[in-house]
Structure 1
Amino acid sequence: MEDSNIDTHIDKKPRLSMSSEKQPEKEVFASVGDQAQSVDDNNNNNTSTNNEVRQTGAADAEGHPVQEVESLCMNCHKNGITRMLLTRIPYFREIIIMSFECPHCGFKNSEIQPAAQIAEKGSRYVLKIEDKKDFNRQVVKSETATVKFNELDIEIPPQRGQLINVEGILQDMITDLESDQEERKKIQPELYPKIQEVIDNIKSYINADEGTLPLTVSIDDPAGNSWIEYVPGEPSHKWAMYEYNRTAEQNVYLGLISADEVAQQKQQNQESQPEEKSSNITLANNIAKDTVIGLSDETDIENLSNEVQTFDATCGSCYKPCSTHMKSVNIPHFKEVIIMSTVCDHCGYKSNEVKTGGEIPAKGKKITLKVTDPEDLARDILKSETCGLNIPELNLDLTPGTLGGRFTTIEGLLQQVSSELHSRVFTQTSDSMDEETKTNWINFFAKLKDALDGKIGFTIIMVDPLASSYIQNVYAPDNDPNMETEEFERSFEQNENLGLNDMKTD
């Protein structure tokens, strides 16, 4: 199929159509505000409608009442009824379900809105559908969420909020594509079979035909208000949830900051750091960064170096009790670090983090490693939260804070960068990306893959003002001919960012 990446727009809002009766031009092109004001004036004159919220007497299983209020129908411009229910989804949060019906023209519509504030971080949920019953998983899709079906190569951009299941999303997609097929067959006959092939392919997945499953569905929501149902006790590979720091562009999209503020901040950064190369691809804090759950109680730790310590904590996703595991690990020729891991058995939330201990060193450390052999990719690497990482040959720049603290291999770190960055670039910005930018990103990922395959050499430069990062020296205790380590004095700005200027030890 030549054009398999299809953005479907499932919009159930009524469309303007030419009626048999000629209407005045001012009614057709009147703004929504004018229409609403006209209806309000009529209501005030006739005093026959009641715009107050009324109780219907119905309620959900937990006793939350269903309320209703008169509201304007955008189809016939008369008053209809909107019913609202504030309810809670287990293992998620509160939502508002709204349903509109107009008794005059019969128009109906429904949507959901988050009842909570915008989350501190964005979220991404991934579900692997392995059998037909997985299509019944409940889904909360907010108006800022992007849904993607990997194997179908189909992406649904942000639209109205829905409380639905996975099968319902696909059925809506089929309905939207089939609605214009007859007309498309006449006007664009060359496009008709391609769209029909997509429709048939979606149906085969819904029917779980042989050779179709598994199907991977992901929901990415920078507002953090979307969700895919989790089944307690299921295998960990079926369901996953990630949190990440939003980019400046995403904050602008959500209305948290203005575009002018972003432009002003970028200008200030360029003025303060004129020596930086504009060609470098900078990963800011938009790559997924796991949230570390704080310990709830202080506990006496015995034999920390030999045992995995477990502490009671509270899940940051569903707020139910969970456990945090902590293990002290001694890295040869470096120092002792603490690995922390949290898994919630109720909602499936997972996080892991690496913390370095000890006193704050007087100087920072810069580590430079030349990767010249594929075996170098297996070297252990510890990147702390305060460490910045740069690979000039790949035009890759990880700012401090990106990915959090990670203890892995060089190959594992690059694979995570590739996976997380690829989902950010081609999931959220692919529609608005021009051809030149898209080509640059494709070339970047091609170089990154060559580096992972050991086809090209590259240089890793790690700068950590707290000297808490490390790359394995395979020649230890002798010096590594391909690695250089140097100490440096921290600048005033670095001490300010780390809070050291205000720290008093006298």
Structure 2
Amino acid sequence: MTGSGKENFFASVGDTVETIDHEKVHGLVQTGAADAEGHPVQEIASLCMNCHEDGVTRLLLTSIPYFREIVLMSFECPHCGFKNSEIQSASEIQEKGSKYLLKIENKQDFNRQLVKSESATCKFTELDIEIPPKRGQLTTVEGLLSEMVEDLSSDQPARKNLQPEIYEKIEDVIGKIKATIACDTTNGGVLPLTLIVDDPAGNSWIEYVPGEATHKWSHSEYTRTADQDVFLGLISEEQAAEARQRELAIKAAQEKIAEKSKNPSSSGFISDQTDIENFENEVQTFHATCSSCYAPCETHMKVVNIPHFKDVIIMSTTCDKCGYKSNEVRTGGAIPPKGRKVTLKVDDPEDLARDILKSETCGLVSPELNLDLTPGTLGGRFTTIEGLLRQVYDELYGRVFTQTSDSLESETKQRWESFFAKLQDAIDGKIKFTIIMEDPLAASYIQNIYAPDDDPNMTIEDFERTHEQNEDLGLLDMVTENYQHDQSPSTS
């Protein structure tokens, strides 16, 4: 066979590559459609799980204001008509879990959009209904309840004959949900209704409306438990056991602090470089898992004393592999009988350098800055006033403006820009403002630069915790000798 014949039978690799449609090799086809921001809609052939014929799945990578990027998937089978939709987060599992709360008070609140990831749990408190983790969804509050009605109604015809008692109970639940959606409180509807979305992966979300009442919407973050990390597939059971050992060590340190507060002694020493007392001069190190790259790392724990306040536990984690760093502050000691409210008037740029300890249970408000941090936001922080405001600025600016500023309405965008400008002026010490910290566990603190004398710009008030606060903190179920002891007047 001649060389020319070989060329006819065997084309060169370069010529073959040029003739390949790369999109079809990967199965993805551009539809030509796009969302409002120009993100393209793609489609791919998929197997229908209903009739086992070929259907089509359409994919859209888009972003949600005040949230992050997501992937929307919609499947449709032309043979049997089966349809299905799903949502997946386009970002990785977050450093901390997230918890959203929404108070539904009128018909308009049922139109709030929400993202429910496959790891999230949704709970309607007043209806005593909980939706366990399943497929991800982009829907509304009404859509979530309507789907629940549809799921409950699907087996009702068969249940009516086989289990009439259960049938009647489920019918009552269905009627109650429908009346709630219609805001018909005369026929069993429940308003106001509380929706709680708890996602250990941190990839769920409830739509936020700027300028609304503070009681309607709240977002908090929390550190995942070892069991939650195992559920998400982030760590193994062996690593979970190490994490539990670390929590036991933290609990032991907190108990040691409580014991020390009952029997004070002069242990430890005061460093030449700081006024913070080194409690027993002991740093403990534990094996941990990096929340960014999930590689093994170490967490260092130290118990220190803040002058004129109390002992706290400071934990620091550093990952040598990816460079991730984090710190966390936990207060120790017995639970006080009252909460505490600290108000500071910041009228001098030097006040920005004051130390501030904001615990996870503390809410922070600044009326002049239109700033309202609900308990749980930013977690436990030990920093300066300037550092705390900068963390708030970076967190909100990155979430609202970095990816979603173009999609905001002009009025909403202007409102956010005004907020960030005022917050930056506060950080630069150009304006005066007030900080109000309210902590039901009295575990937060602002440095008194006049100590041991009273600070003329600071007011400290103790208050009785409400029943709701005690319930949220789990104190109603906590009947221990230590807690009962703390309710009695202290003696010296």
Residue 210 and residue 269 in structure 1: after superposition, are their counterparts in 2 closer, same or farther (change >3 A)?
closer
Give 1:27-426 correspondences, 5 Å limit: 52-210=27-185, 212-266=190-244, 301-302=349-350, 313-316=393-396, 318-320=399-401, 322=420, 323=423, 354=444, 357=447, 409=462, 412=465, 416=469, 418-420=471-473
**TM superposition score normalised by structure 1:** 0.52
User: Which runs of 5 or more residues in structure 2 are unaligned?
Assistant: 1-23, 256-312, 315-326, 330-346, 355-365, 369-384, 402-416, 428-433, 450-459
**TM superposition score normalised by structure 2:** 0.54
Task: Output the amino acid matched with 2:124.
Answer: F
Task: Output the amino acid matched with 2:239.
Answer: E
SS in 2 for 1:249: helix
SS in 1 for 2:41: strand
Distance 2:58 2:348 in 1: 54
Q: CA deviation at 1:315?
A: 2.9
Distance 1:243 1:62 in 2: 29
Q: CA deviation at 1:192?
A: 1.1
Give 1:457-468 correspondences, 5 Å limit: 457-459=484-486
Q: CA deviation at 1:301?
A: 1.2
Distance 2:227 2:175 in 1: 37
Q: CA deviation at 1:135?
A: 0.5
Give 1:452-491 correspondences, 5 Å limit: 457-459=484-486, 481=491
User: Which runs of 5 or more residues in structure 1 are unaligned?
Assistant: 1-48, 278-283, 293-298, 327-337, 342-351, 360-406, 422-443, 461-472, 475-479, 484-506
SS in 2 for 1:315: helix
Q: CA deviation at 1:182?
A: 1.1
SS in 1 for 2:165: coil
Preserved contact between residue 339 and residue 355 of structure 1 (Cα < 8 Å): no
Preserved contact between residue 97 and residue 200 of structure 2 (Cα < 8 Å): yes
Residue 417 and residue 117 in structure 1: after superposition, are their counterparts in 2 closer, same or farther (change >3 A)?
farther
Distance 1:234 1:162 in 2: 25
Preserved contact between residue 339 and residue 353 of structure 1 (Cα < 8 Å): no
Q: CA deviation at 1:267?
A: 5.9
Residue 92 and residue 107 in structure 1: after superposition, are their counterparts in 2 closer, same or farther (change >3 A)?
same
Distance 2:143 2:461 in 1: 40
Q: CA deviation at 1:269?
A: 7.6
Distance 1:72 1:255 in 2: 27
Preserved contact between residue 340 and residue 353 of structure 1 (Cα < 8 Å): no
Distance 1:221 1:71 in 2: 29
Residue 105 and residue 274 in structure 1: after superposition, are their counterparts in 2 closer, same or farther (change >3 A)?
same
Q: CA deviation at 1:261?
A: 1.7
Task: Output the amino acid matched with 1:457.
Answer: Q
Residue 354 and residue 248 in structure 1: after superposition, are their counterparts in 2 closer, same or farther (change >3 A)?
same
Give the stretch that moved more between structures: 307-316 or 100-109.
307-316
Give the fraction of aligned pairs with identical amino acids, expressed as a percent. 50
SS in 2 for 1:190: helix
Residue 265 and residue 291 in structure 1: after superposition, are their counterparts in 2 closer, same or farther (change >3 A)?
closer
- CA offsets per residue over residues 44-75 of structure 1, 9 Å max, x none? xxxxx865211100000000000111122222
Q: CA deviation at 1:129?
A: 0.9
SS in 2 for 1:205: helix
SS in 2 for 1:457: helix
Task: Output the amino acid matched with 2:175.
Answer: D
Residue 150 and residue 52 in structure 1: after superposition, are their counterparts in 2 closer, same or farther (change >3 A)?
same
Distance 1:108 1:262 in 2: 40
Residue 272 and residue 143 in structure 1: after superposition, are their counterparts in 2 closer, same or farther (change >3 A)?
closer
Q: CA deviation at 1:291?
A: 9.7
Residue 228 and residue 272 in structure 1: after superposition, are their counterparts in 2 closer, same or farther (change >3 A)?
closer
SS in 1 for 2:229: helix
Q: CA deviation at 1:218?
A: 1.1
Preserved contact between residue 65 and residue 400 of structure 2 (Cα < 8 Å): no
Q: CA deviation at 1:271?
A: 10
Preserved contact between residue 51 and residue 70 of structure 1 (Cα < 8 Å): no
Preserved contact between residue 96 and residue 222 of structure 2 (Cα < 8 Å): yes
Distance 2:251 2:113 in 1: 48
Distance 1:445 1:58 in 2: 55
Residue 459 and residue 302 in structure 1: after superposition, are their counterparts in 2 closer, same or farther (change >3 A)?
closer
SS in 1 for 2:50: coil
Q: CA deviation at 1:250?
A: 0.7
Q: CA deviation at 1:106?
A: 2.4
Q: CA deviation at 1:87?
A: 0.3
Distance 2:252 2:25 in 1: 62
- CA offsets per residue over residues 333-374 of structure 1, 9 Å max, x none? xxxxx9687xxxxxxxxxx99455599xxxxxxxxxxxxxxx
